[in-house]
Structure 1
Amino acid sequence: MHSHSTLSSFFITTILLVFYHLKCEARDSINVGNPLKDSRETLISAGNRFELGFFTPQGNDKSHKRHVGIWYYKLTPRTIVWVANRDKPISGSCGVFGISEDGNLKIWCNKEVIFSIAVPKMSTFNRTLQLLDSGNLLLFDGNTTVWQSFDSPTDTFLPGMKMNDMELISWISPSDPGRGNFSFRIDQDVYRIQNRSTLYWKSGELGPRGIFLYNEKLPNVVAQIFSDNHTQSDQVGQLGQTYINYSSFSNVTRASYCNYSRLVMNSSGKIQYYCNSSLLWFEPRNFCSEYDACGKFGICNTTNKPMYCQCLQGFKPASSEDWKAGTYSDGCERETRHTKDDRFLNLKLMKIGGQATSFDQAQEEATCRNECLSRPKCEAYIYKADASKRETDNSVPKCYIWTDLKDLQIGYPDDELNLSLRVPFSYIVSANPSKGSGGSRNNSRTIYAIVLTVSLVGVVLVFCSSYVLHQRRRMVDGSGNQGSIEAIPMLSSYERERQVNEMLHETDKGIDIPSYNFNIILSATDNFSDANKLGRGGFGPVYKGKFPGGREIAVKRLSSCSSQGIDEFLNEVNLIAKLQHRNLVRLLGYCIKDNEKILLYEYMPNRSLDAIIFDHNACLLLDWKKRFYIILGIARGLLYLHQDSRLRIIHRDLKTSNILLDEEMNPKISDFGLARIIEGKRIEASTNKVVGTFGYMSPEYALDGKFSIKSDVFSFGVVMLEIISGRKNTGFYDPQEVMNLLGYAWRLWSEDKALDMVDPRLKESCEKSQVMTCTKVGLLCVQVDPNDRPSMSTVVTMLASESTALPNPTQPAFVLRRRISVASSSSSTKPDTISSNELTISMVQGR
């Protein structure tokens, strides 16, 4: 009897387990008699990539409005890629989604049809709805596909979709998936965003017969996602895992797999490209990226805050009141009529719109210029004679005439457009023509008088300069004969300055960096006033300046009273002028005046990284997400220097104070005074003069003068650990043992307490797995043996890929522990030093 009871219990338990297994096993399809109910029941694709079910938009929980949608399976936060009933939500949890008896897809609530998707009728209704690993929801009738969600996208484009005549329509807000104001579509190979009926943004397009009007080109991977020609069956289980070449985004040659790639039309009006959870690209980037932001004849400049728009020379706002109020849609209007005496101003632009026609007969720029002058409606021209095709093919036009100018933007892209703007002669000579019948003659006399005066002043200045120079040399020579020691530095300084000017003039054709007048810089910085002083670098103070028109700059003043810093000055001008990367600071110009050596950079409103992460209050501006973004940016900038630029460059002084942050907290590596070029395929070199900053120098460089790309990797590791902890490597002390940050990080890592190193103010915002990865990569970078340290290409891959297996780090360099005993302190003031690396730093010039 007891045996029979035990056997019955066994069978019942087995049946329950089987039933439970079947109940819990995820399904990927439904049929007519088996709908999906709003009771936490969902469909999950066969490869566990996508999930379909009822959901409430994030931030809209109190409304209890429910939608049917598709999202990535187990991706946090939940990312919706398709919504069925976006404009007709259900109140409460009464919803049922499935195939109705008439073959259509419907959503019911208490037997009332709330939403319906009409599909083509067939002779039979043997229909099945299946969710694929591509994110596509397919409705089959037998073996025939009668409907798919890829033909009806909402705000998200997934790999495998085909845009054709479709469009992506934004959500109303992040918490409301209803149809919003913004839409994205492709129109004749041009990508466009509409704000209702108004054009809001468009991608790069070709103008008349091949001239590029816009430099806002889509990254290759974003353009490629629209031209995917795989069949639907090929993409099951594979779509969403896309091979990404990151050079499309930041000139970084690195490849990785993107498990979840998508393009999203955001509710704020931005088209965004995501790889996994990382936002890699978006447009419009700023106000000037919006279409026709400043109206007709208006020019947009992102450096002019808060008033981005200006009128072209010779034009004025069509409505002054609207411009003061920040409304620029009416644009500008010409102040004077065109005349045959008009001249042209050269403008370097990154975007040009409006109406243009080609003038095929012009084979020289003078012909193009005269053609524009002969046309009453011509506002500007572009003459392009530098293209190789045009040099060999006379049928390709070189001259383009603009009769209407709009959507103009100043910038510094890799390939600027040179526009010659037609302006009155008075704007060139800075003198207004006299009125009356004798105006033309008087104007000519005025011009001749100005030219003559300037020439005479120039001759006098040259004569005076020569005389002063002659007297100075005589004084130096005479003092030298008398054995004067004080006169020697003057001669050395003068001769060195002369050499600097000659060297810059010799390389000027190669670097293409403008030279600025010293008086303009004095005016821009208010005579280098303390109020404009931003700080002091290794080779001089840095000031904030503002040019006429409102453009802000950073002015670096180098070694004004001696020859010190000239080598670094030349090095920085020659190096940074040849580097173009979003994570490197941009050099705008230079100035040489007597003993003054000045460099002009783009202004970074958020200062340097050390000024934020080491400040108790300012550090709150950088949560973990921003700090990780900064770490990635620095890594990509270094990778460009080591591998992807035309020159292999070792920075040699990477530190937090040399990482500048722009208005959007994008990191930019600066201060290339100590950088060195490594010729050919070499990756290392040596020097007898070790220069750098304590705490950031690798041991092989500090001790033996050997530097390589792995020296920069060491510095990067220190910077990364400082970003994570919010503490400096030097001057950091543990309560138990006196050591630097590297030693502290290593001890915590060895004790499986790495998270204790994280800045306490990051506890709430940090992703623990990401922090652990960064800490491990940081420790790998600061290992003693350079051969053990990863290259920057490997570092970037490690940081961006969650699935990459990382090797275990060994003990870092410079792990110093000092123990001061009571006995020794009574007889000596010097503490005993115990070093696991037994290193002694010498011959180092600290900064």
Structure 2
Amino acid sequence: MAQKSSWNSLFCCFTPQDTSPRTAGSSPSCKSFSSINSMELLSPEDLSLTLAGSNLYVFTMSELKNATRNFSNSNFIGSGGFGPVYKGFIDEKLRPGLKPQQIAVKYLDTDGTQGHREWLAEVFFLGQLRNPNLVKLIGYCYEDEHRMVVYEYMDKGSLENHLFKSGAFATLPWMTRMKIAVGAAKGLAFLHEAEKPVIYRDFKASNILLDPDYSAKLSDFGLAKDGPQGDETHVTTRVMGTHGYAAPEYIMTGHLTTKSDVYSFGVVLLELLTGRRCVDKKRKPREQNLVEWARPYLKKADKLYRIMDPSLESQYSTKGAEIAAQVAYRCLSENPKSRPHMQEVVKALEPVLELKDVPIGTFVFTLIVEDDKGEDGEEKVRVEAKRRDDEKPRSHHDRHKQKYPNSAIHADDVFQWNGSYARSLRACRRSLSNNRERGA
């Protein structure tokens, strides 16, 4: 766990450094983010002084144009409430002393849902915070009307893309999902445990970025807030965030605490378990709100399989899923005081990464081509299915496999010679799926 840090120590104890127009200034400033945020306009010089000692690069518009090929469409990565994001590359050719690396440049859209203050929060928080589970801010651009932030480039993109864009990405394996959950939990715990806590306020799948090893890093701090101080129990603020992830008490009252982030983490953990979006209007009415639909199953180990992501194909740790479900259940408590602290969440989930009970596969299919041929001259083909002795059926689908092991419904490779057989097989699959939905 990274060492705790306080805003006082971050902003009031910097020693003078070499002054340069292309790096954050050197004179220390003891302004808090709330005082900076209240200013009508913070000049580039004032911001540079405030971020003294942060080692951030202050890029020019011209430099970032060169780095992104003039913000070309071929370098476009995506967009959000902040604005478009472009991939780029920096090295010593752009500026002496720059480490060669790929970057991501977020360009503030002044007509978007976020503005100068959100951009300022992004630069302010990530300019001072350093942790393996927070995306690294390399620098920023504050020139005329242009506002940009420059991050390290995250090769694997966002968790949202991997979970919900199945056509473009392979299914995330169980252990990778749990690794992401633990990493994201550590990122939140780091924020919450600072001497002056930081409330993230916008924890969601699209803000969790993944590096080449699928380590999770939190990004997009535009909505982050300083936590309550002294005897304060909460921060009262305008309700912002993303529908489906925000804690119910925050939506109702505008009261924001670290436990609001804990609720949002529970929603994302539920998305990792189920492979479903927190809100999905394309589903049946009773299944459109993920939390309401899944919550009753989280404390019932014998029912948990009903909400697990079908794309995992039962290749997950039963014990690990039960632990993760229990953690999600606590995080999603309607009473904020009943929710765990994020450090408790980390301690509960880390042991899941050590469990070795993820099944290799329920069935081993053997294709046997017999030497003799039938009357029609075709080679005889049969598929043999064998269950591993140490596997126990955990769902209706598995129980059906055990009772009818030779059923073509369960074959991975189906050999068919006419269209009617294919239609019949699909009908059987639909029937079995419907029975499972009813809990048969």
Partner of 1:660: 209
CA drift at 1:640: 0.6
2:227–2:235 Cα contact (<8 Å) kept: no
2:60–2:141 Cα contact (<8 Å) kept: yes
Partner of 1:527: 70
Q: Any idea what SS the aligned residue of 1:628 has? A: helix
Partner of 2:90: 547
Rounded to whole Å, the distance in 2 between the matches of 1:560 and 1:736 is 36
The answer to whether the aligner puts 1:709 opposite 2:258 as a matched pair is yes
Which of the residues 319, 336, 347 maps onto 1:786?
336
Rounded to whole Å, the distance in 2 between the matches of 1:563 and 1:715 is 20
Partner of 2:362: none
Q: Kindly name which structure, 1 or 2, has the bigger radius of gyration based on alpha carbons.
A: 1
- 1:735–1:564: structure 2 CA closer, same or farther, 3 Å change rule? closer
Partner of 2:144: 594
Q: Any idea what SS the aligned residue of 2:212 has? A: coil
CA drift at 1:747: 3.1
Q: Deviations for 1:582-611, whole angstroms, at most 9, x for unmatched residues?
A: 110000000111110010000001111101
For 2:289, the aligned partner's letter is N
1:252–1:639 Cα contact (<8 Å) kept: no
For 2:349, the aligned partner's letter is L
Within 5 A, what are the aligned runs for 1:676-825? 676-678=225-227, 680-681=229-230, 684-731=233-280, 735=284, 737-749=286-298, 752-801=302-351
CA drift at 1:735: 4.3
- 1:505–1:563: structure 2 CA closer, same or farther, 3 Å change rule? farther
Within 5 A, what are the aligned runs for 1:146-295? 247=1
Rounded to whole Å, the distance in 2 between the matches of 1:514 and 1:736 is 49
Rounded to whole Å, the distance in 2 between the matches of 1:543 and 1:649 is 28
CA drift at 1:791: 0.9
Q: Deviations for 1:469-510, whole angstroms, at most 9, x for unmatched residues?
A: xxxxxxxxxxxxxxxxxxxxxxxxxx96x6342430330315
- 1:622–1:739: structure 2 CA closer, same or farther, 3 Å change rule? closer
Q: Percent identity at matched positions?
A: 37
Which of the residues 117, 133, 137 maps onto 1:583?
133
Rounded to whole Å, the distance in 1 between the matches of 2:232 and 2:175 is 33
Which of the residues 34, 52, 58 maps onto 1:515?
58
2:4–2:195 Cα contact (<8 Å) kept: no
CA drift at 1:755: 1.7
CA drift at 1:514: 1.8
2:245–2:263 Cα contact (<8 Å) kept: yes
Rounded to whole Å, the distance in 2 between the matches of 1:729 and 1:563 is 21
Q: Any idea what SS the aligned residue of 1:787 has? A: helix
CA drift at 1:763: 3.1
Q: Which has the higher helix share?
A: 2
1:713–1:790 Cα contact (<8 Å) kept: yes
Q: Any idea what SS the aligned residue of 2:269 has? A: helix
2:299–2:326 Cα contact (<8 Å) kept: no
For 1:541, the aligned partner's letter is P
1:535–1:542 Cα contact (<8 Å) kept: yes
- 1:782–1:546: structure 2 CA closer, same or farther, 3 Å change rule? same
CA drift at 1:547: 1.7
CA drift at 1:738: 4.6
CA drift at 1:662: 0.7
1:633–1:667 Cα contact (<8 Å) kept: yes
Partner of 2:199: 650
The answer to whether the aligner puts 1:628 opposite 2:171 as a matched pair is no
For 2:127, the aligned partner's letter is A
Which ranges in structure 1 are unaligned for 5 or more consecutive residues? 1-246, 254-417, 419-494, 803-847
Partner of 2:223: 674
Partner of 2:363: none
Q: Deviations for 1:275-327, whole angstroms, at most 9, x for unmatched residues?
A: xxxxxxxxxxxxxxxxxxxxxxxxxxxxxxxxxxxxxxxxxxxxxxxxxxxxx
Rounded to whole Å, the distance in 1 between the matches of 2:54 and 2:323 is 40
1:561–1:596 Cα contact (<8 Å) kept: no
For 2:175, the aligned partner's letter is K
Which of the residues 499, 522, 526 maps onto 2:42?
499
For 2:333, the aligned partner's letter is Q
For 1:611, the aligned partner's letter is N
Q: Deviations for 1:593-645, whole angstroms, at most 9, x for unmatched residues?
A: 111001000000111110111122455352001111110101111111101x3
CA drift at 1:651: 0.1
Which of the residues 162, 184, 188 maps onto 1:612?
162
Q: Any idea what SS the aligned residue of 2:156 has? A: coil
Q: Deviations for 1:374-397, whole angstroms, at most 9, x for unmatched residues?
A: xxxxxxxxxxxxxxxxxxxxxxxx
CA drift at 1:736: 7.4
Q: Which has the higher strand share?
A: 1
1:718–1:729 Cα contact (<8 Å) kept: yes
Partner of 2:427: none
